[in-house]
């Protein structure tokens, strides 16, 4: 099937600045471009740079539940690919991060024998590491979708960094244009209190979407969570509480001297 392929690219978070040279080439040179991005300037740029570009927005809003829209998007990508053409799909951020439809499309396309791949992009989390000076490798880092954290009571290690995605639309499985997050934030606070004190300082984060703009960084005490205004692009960062203890049996098994740990 040399005449057809599927390449999923990410446009990053900041308009144009995060678009890689490789992603640009696929957008401009593919037979067909399907896109689902959350920012109008990027939509316009894609439309201008490929005359066969098509927005996936109508499918994204077609059904009441987001999960049904995601399935329909996967099906639409595959139907487009089956028309024997080189298809590029553009999603914002990193296209494999909290973005199931394209991941599923690539998996299914490969099962059907098509050449299909994902190119990495700059995610909101990558921007957070830079803006909040967080190294995920220093003490480990959890990354959870906020509703998923709650409904599965996922375990948190409070000695590691914690990043919560979709924290402004807790419990919303539909299209959260005017979502009231008050109850969700209260439920989240009560769950986080199992691991963190009310006085623990946390940060609400929104990466800049345009060059020369600054990120939104709001620091507050955890107990204030229900009073903080959040949006669908808000991410919550919770720093660690204290240091994890060292397991001396493990040090011995690895031949590490405790004095060499700094
Ligand atoms: C469906 S996910 C998409 C993530 C995207 N694929 C990425 O790689 O960043 C949406 C969530 O990503 C996070 N997000 C998106 N844009 C953001 C921004 N500008 N700043 C901070 N977080 C953002 C928020 O947690 C938001 O609820």
- Looking at the structure of the chain, the number of domains it has is 2
99 Cβ closer than 6 Å to some ligand 1 atom: yes
Ligand 1 atom closest to the CA of 205, numbered from 1: 21
**163 found inside a domain:** yes
163 and 182 part of one domain: yes
132 and 157 part of one domain: yes
76 and 27 part of one domain: yes
Q: Find the 165 Cα to ligand 1 centroid distance in Å.
A: 7
pTM: 0.95
Does pLDDT of 2 surpass 80?
no
107 and 13 part of one domain: yes
CATH number where 216 lies: 3.30.950.10
85 and 188 part of one domain: no
| Model confidence pLDDT, tens digit, residues 114-134 | 999 999 999 999 999 999 999
Q: CA nearest 218: which of 250, 123, 162, 231?
A: 231
13 Cβ closer than 6 Å to some ligand 1 atom: yes
Q: Find the 46 Cα to ligand 1 centroid distance in Å.
A: 20
Decide which of 83, 103, 118 is a domain's last residue: 118
The residue whose C-alpha atom lies closest to atom 15 belonging to ligand 1 is 233
129 and 89 part of one domain: no
| Model confidence pLDDT, tens digit, residues 130-184 | 999 999 999 999 999 999 999 999 999 999 999 999 999 999 998 877 789 999 9
Burial class from Cβ neighbours inside 10 Å (0-12, 13-18, 19+) for residue 45 reads buried
**261 found inside a domain:** no
What domain range includes position 143?
A: 124-238
State the Cα–Cα distance between residues 248 and 262, nearest whole angstrom. Answer: 15
**203 found inside a domain:** yes
């Amino acid at each position: 099937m040399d005449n057809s392929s599927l390449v999923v690219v990410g446009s990053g978070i900041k308009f144009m600045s995060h678009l890689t040279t490789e992603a640009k080439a696929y957008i401009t040179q593919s037979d067909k471009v399907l896109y689902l991005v959350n920012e109008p300037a990027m939509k316009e740029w894609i439309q201008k740079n490929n005359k066969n570009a098509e927005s996936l927005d109508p499918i994204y809003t077609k059904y009441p539940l987001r999960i049904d829209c995601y399935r329909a998007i996967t099906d639409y990508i595959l139907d487009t690919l089956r028309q024997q053409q080189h298809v590029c799909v553009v999603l914002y951020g990193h296209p494999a991060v909290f973005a199931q439809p394209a991941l599923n499309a690539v998996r299914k396309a490969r099962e059907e024998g098509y050449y299909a791949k994902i190119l990495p992009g700059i995610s909101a989390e990558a921007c957070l590491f830079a803006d909040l000076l967080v190294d995920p490798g220093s003490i480990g880092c959890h990354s959870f979708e906020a509703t998923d954290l709650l409904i599965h009571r996922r375990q948190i290690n409070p000695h590691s960094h914690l990043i919560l995605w979709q924290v402004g639309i807790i419990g919303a499985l539909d299209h959260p244009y005017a979502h009231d997050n008050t109850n969700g934030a209260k439920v989240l606070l009560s769950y986080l209190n199992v691991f963190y004190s009310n006085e623990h300082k946390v940060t609400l984060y929104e990466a800049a979407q345009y060059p020369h703009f600054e990120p939104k960084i709001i620091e507050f005490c955890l107990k204030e969570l229900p009073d903080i205004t959040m949006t669908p692009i808000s991410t919550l960062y919770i720093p660690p509480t204290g240091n994890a203890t060292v397991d001396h049996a493990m040090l011995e098994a690895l031949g590490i001297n405790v004095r060499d740990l700094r």
